[in-house]
Amino acid sequence: MSKLQLVAIIDDDESVRVTTDSLVRSLGYIVRTFASAEEFLRSGRIDDFACVVTDVQMPGMSGVQLQDHLRAQGSRVPFIFFTAFPDEKTRAQALAAGAICYLTKPFDGDGLVKCFDAALKTHDGESEN
């Protein structure tokens, strides 16, 4: 399985996971969904993902804390965040740490597709270096 085809979707809301999973699969990518950042970390496959799409606010570790954790370990995997509770400080923190997009729920599919395309182009460029 190509690393460039595998996308992680992390959200504590099952309906958001299912909807986002369906959209990303329709684009031809392989998706793994996780109900929490901790479940994602326990997967043992962190380095296999080309992109992480995650909710900002979740019980336990937040999406931004997950990004910070992975950056501290040297991971450069692109992140796309979405949230029902937009906060400029959190948005700025996520983008400063390298997030590709920070979307507000409900977001339209086209907006996510644009973010997703940008994230994978960023990842492709890093993979070539």
pLDDT, tens digit, 9 for 90 and up, residues 35-74? 999 999 999 888 899 999 999 999 999 999 999 999 999 9
Domain ranges of the chain: 3-124
| Secondary structure of the chain as H, E, C letters | CCHHHEEEEECCCHHHHHHHHHHHHHCCCEEEEECCHHHHHHCCCHHHCCEEEEECCCCCCCHHHHHHHHHHCCCCCCEEEEECCCCHHHHHHHHHCCCCEEEECCCCHHHHHHHHHHHHHHHHHHHHC
Q: Can you name the CATH fold of 3-124?
A: Rossmann fold (3.40.50)
Q: Is the pLDDT at 1 greater than 70, yes or no?
A: no
b/e per residue, 10-38, with b = 16+ CB within 10 A? bbbeeebbebbbebbeeeebebebbebbe
pLDDT in tens, 75-102: 989 999 999 998 999 999 999 988 999 9
pLDDT at 126: 52
